[in-house]
Structure 1
Amino acid sequence: MPDMAPRVLVSDELSETAVQIFRDRGVEVDYMPKLGKDKEKLAEIIGQYDGLAIRSATKVTEKLLEQATNLKVIGRAGIGVDNVDIPAASRKGVIVMNTPFGNSITTAEHAIAMMFACARQLPEANASTHAGKWEKSRFMGVELFNKTLGVIGAGNIGGIVCDRALGLSMKVVAYDPFLSEERAKALGVTKVELDDLLARADFITLHVPLTDKTRNILSAEAIAKTKKGVRIINCARGGLVDEKALAEAIKSGHVAGAAFDVFEVEPASESPLFNLPNVVVTPHLGASTTEAQENVALQVAEQMSDYLLTGAVQNALNMPSVTAEEAAVMGPWVKLAGHLGAFVGQMTDEPIKAINVLYDGAVGEMNLAALNCATIAGIMKATNPDVNLVSAPVVAKERGIQISTTTQAKSGAFDAYIKLTVVTDKRERSVAGTCFSDGKPRFIQIKGINIDAEVGRHMLYTTNEDVPGIIGLLGMTMGKNGVNIANFTLGRTSVGQEAIAILYLDQAIDPKVVETLESTGLFQQVKPLEFDVA
């Protein structure tokens, strides 16, 4: 647990129960639910906080993030993060979390409700009856029973919709590139391609995020492929359906009706779908139930507290998730990965082309994505001290560095180890390490030479020809300059060939000591190294 309690700012409406979770967990929290709408005031104080809990009112822009000098995590109570500049947060090293499951049932139920409303023209019938009319013959609806529902996106929410539809005795076909045959069978649905779904479905409901691939997935061309008399429901994201094309299809009679909770532009003061017959519209109510709002608030408070207090990462959008259990087990290995990266990062002066990480034995079964982040961060910190596990992969990508990962079964004397190789135009440099039962990371191989070196804050690495007197020279030089040696490790390829020494020192050495050693002409390389061993 941190020495000082982390501070969290809640800048949008969040339940008092959620705020209390922060306090109960030992997190200092300031609840200012109106602050999200005051950009200037928010920017003025954001630098004081480690975490920011928001809903949709707070806009986390690149400009705001520039002022967030201590920010480590942003928690969005809800699934949508359109109000957060995730690339800017990643570059800043700030984790962005959402709560994708807290409102799943609520959103799925709203989609089913909208389907019923569209099928039976309930809003129009309600308005007519309130107006004193009795137009039974005007509102002739259709049954859901035995109709085919086409579900675009069979993830968490889409899966719940499938289950509810089957309970209504509908036939369900699903299009989702990530839906396996096994999962489709478990859901009780038929997996199909999009064109097949369009041709077969009496009702179509969308449950996918808005991306470059899904934008206008129901375009004018796609809508033209649908079955005549189809009804289309969208409670996912505006922009998935071409609203203008759909409006024309409704006017022509090809599409019998639609029910939309989301729109291309929100708040939606106008839309081609407004005021059309057999069209039901609601103001983005998918997650608007008492239960859902409470659930996502509680979930975001727990997730943010877990991260700030234990390092556990859940539902992050810009970093691999790490459970609290994983964080406890992986802690020493994350440190080791960072130390290996720091070693090669400090040793490498030319641009890096590729990073290759080999995981041997038991470590290969851990969360490798998180370990890779730690390795890359260790490398990048040599030239950019501000990077962390979140921003380092972004920096590496921007530099065009190729990253590869390999796993293999236990192959040597150690139950597990990590080997890192960095490739430049001039050379390959490798270092390997393991964690002993005491949890302390060790370097076990450098340049293919076997060693056993404990990692300390201040270290000195040298390479030389294997000749007598090197140990004495290093020891005498350190002694003359008042530098105490905590640990001294040697290794060589073979007698009289290349040798290395790595010294764990009690304090940093003066550059003049390095110059003294270099002036002897006995060393090919003399390199002071620093490691974060906190």
Structure 2
Amino acid sequence: MSLPKIVICGDIVWAHEELQEMLGSTTTIVNMDCQTRQDFLSNLSDSGKYSNVVGFYRHNSSADRIGIFDAELINALPPSCKWIAHNGAGYDQIDIAACKKRGIRVSNTPGAVDEGTATTALYLLLSSLRQFSIAERNLRSLKWKTGLIPAHDPSAMTLGILGMGGIGMHFATMANALPVKKILYYNRAPKKDAPAWAEYVSTMDELLERSDVLSVHCPLNEHTVGLVGEKQIRKLKKGSIIINTARGKVIDEAALIKALEDGHLYAAGLDVYPDEPNVNPRLMEFRNVTLLPHMGTETQESQRAMEVRALQNLKDYFQSGLGKDLVLEYRS
């Protein structure tokens, strides 16, 4: 009897030994070597190298060759496919609705990215408050403190967290240690494990109206595209700060730029953008905006943990038929 087949779509960089230990003796591992989407789709046929596949390990790097796992690709998967183990906390590159129609489960890697992304948010918070990115550019240009004015201490700021998942919780803990003045959070429901110093607010409007700094940590889906738009940004106090380490499309970029132009926002710190790797050149014009090239999980520790967790999800499925880390849409 042949072993169930899994396909590695994208990079395994850190967890080669774990791949063999977890799945080498119980599955047939096939590395995707297609260079085009059409080649990949052709090999999903009955006679192709990816026929009868049961599970996929998916890394975003595969999108450079075969594109995202949209409805076209999902509908082309063989009936044998039951699980897609996505390497990443965000899973907007997979059409979850199409997967659900096909009876394919999708897992992600929550927890594995918490520290890396939270420390990125912490840097953006400090840089936005203290003008550190401006100061560094000044120094490198031999301008010393030219154009700098006294900034803000974290202890004077109320931090509002939009989305209190693992990353939001980790970031809240870091920010509380600075300390910040107060931490508020808005979530679909109060977090049972939230610390006493984090105050749950029942509406997004209250979060916006009371926050000096808004930090975005919610996933991107059909409900969160443009969640922070013109109306929401204007509910923030004049002189507020927005930080985004989630997904670029959660914020209406045009509304953000307008609020920076007219001074409603004091500063912004961005690690993500609507059309990555392209960045709106208008953002480059604002000295008070700290920009990073999606650095949230760019640590060896985070990337290794993500690979291992995605592989563990496949192993759990093959061992129990259940698996862990189902994405939010399967749990709602």
Q: Same fold per TM (> 0.5)?
A: yes
Which residues of 2 match residues 252-291 of structure 1 at below 5 A? 252-270=262-280, 272-291=282-301
Secondary structure of the residue aligned to 1:259 is strand
Report the TM-score, using the length of structure 1 for normalisation: 0.55
> In the alignment, is the contact (CA less than 8 A) between 1:243 and 1:271 conserved in 2?
no
Q: Which amino acid aligns with 1:177?
A: R
Residue 300 of structure 1 deviates from its aligned partner by: 0.8
**One-letter amino acid of the counterpart of residue 50, structure 2:** I
Structure of higher RCO (CA pairs closer than 8 Å, 6+ residues apart): 2
Structure 2 residue 221 is matched with structure 1 residue 211:
yes
Partner residue, 2:4? 6
User: Which of the numbers 153, 156, 176 marks the counterpart of 2:163?
Assistant: 153
Output one character per residue of 1:414-456: Cα deviation in whole Å (capped at 9) or x when no partner: xxxxxxxxxxxxxxxxxxxxxxxxxxxxxxxxxxxxxxxxxxx
Match of 1:179 in 2: 190
Matching of residues 278-427 of structure 1 within 5 Å: 278-317=288-327
* Alignment-derived partner of residue 72 in structure 2: 63
Return the letter of the residue paired with 1:42. F
Q: Does 2:225 match 1:225?
A: no
Task: Encode CA deviations 1:114-164: one digit per residue, 9 max, x unaligned.
Answer: 111112222222222112222266253321124211111112211111111
- Residue identity over aligned pairs, in percent, reads 26
Structure with max Cα Rg: 1
**1:88 and 2:98 matched:** yes
Task: Supply the distance in 1 between the matched residues of 2:213 and 2:8 (Cα, whole angstroms).
Answer: 40
Q: Output the CA distance in 1 between the equivalents of 2:263 and 2:70.
A: 43
Q: For the structure 1 residues 64 and 155, does the alpha-carbon distance in structure 2 shift closer, same or farther, using more than 3 Å as the test? A: closer
Pick closer, same or farther for the CA change 1:54–1:18 going to 2, 3 Å: farther
Distance in 1 (CA, whole Å) between partners of 2:248 and 2:77 is 30
Quick one: distance in 2 between partners of 1:318 and 1:215? 16
Secondary structure class of the residue paired with 1:172: strand
Which amino acid counterpart does residue 77 of structure 2 have in structure 1? A
Partner letter of residue 39 of structure 1?
R
- CA pair 172-95 structure 1, distance change in 2 beyond 3 A: same
Change (3 A) 1:41 1:213: closer
Give the TM-score, by structure 2 length: 0.86
Q: CA separation in 1, counterparts of 2:160 and 2:328?
A: 31
Amino acid in the other structure paired with 1:54: R
Which 5+ residue runs of structure 2 have no aligned equivalent? 44-48, 63-67
Instruction: Give a deviation string over 1:374-417, Cα, whole Å, max 9, x none.
Output: xxxxxxxxxxxxxxxxxxxxxxxxxxxxxxxxxxxxxxxxxxxx
State the alpha-carbon separation in 2 of the partners of residues 243 and 64 from structure 1. 29
Q: Say whether 1:47 aligns with 2:47.
A: no
Mark the CA change 1:214 to 1:72 in structure 2 (over 3 Å): closer, same or farther.
closer
Aligned partner of 1:173: which letter? L
SS in structure 2 at match of 1:246:
helix
Does 2:110 align with 1:100?
yes
**Native 8 Å contact 1:95 1:318 kept in 2:** no
Partner of residue 197, structure 2: 188
Aligned 8 A contact 1:53 1:75 in 2: yes
Secondary structure of the residue aligned to 2:259 is: helix
AA paired with 1:316?
L
2: CA distance between counterparts of 1:319 and 1:153? 15
The size of the alignment, in residue pairs, is 316
Unmatched runs of 5 consecutive residues or more in structure 1: 322-368, 370-534
Structure 1 distance, partners of 2:326, 2:84, is: 9
Q: Secondary structure at the match of 1:10?
A: strand
The residue type paired with residue 51 of structure 1 is G
User: Does the CA contact (< 8 Å) of 1:118 and 1:258 recur in 2?
Assistant: yes
Is this contact kept in 2: 1:98–1:316, CA < 8 A? yes
- The CA RMSD over aligned residues, in Å, is 2.4
CA, structure 1 residues 147+300, in 2 after alignment: closer, same or farther (shift >3 Å)? Answer: same
- Retained in 2: the 8 A contact 1:151–1:206? yes
Q: Which amino acid aligns with 2:115?
A: I
Partner of 2:244: 234
Closer/same/farther in 2, CA of residues 140 and 64 from structure 1, 3 Å limit: same
Q: How far 1:166 sits from its partner (Å)?
A: 1.1
Shift of 1:264: 2.1
Mean CA deviation greater in 199-208 or 42-51:
42-51
- Counterpart-to-counterpart distance in 2, 1:214 and 1:61: 18
Secondary structure, counterpart of 1:47 in structure 2 = coil
CA contact (8 A) 1:257 1:279 kept: yes
Q: Give the 3 Å change call, closer, same or farther, for CA 21–38 of structure 1 in structure 2.
A: farther
Distance 2:261 2:147 in 1: 21
Whether the aligned pair in 2 keeps the contact of 1:22 and 1:29 (CA below 8 Å) is no
| Alpha-carbon distance change, 72 to 195 in structure 1, aligned in 2, over 3 angstroms | closer
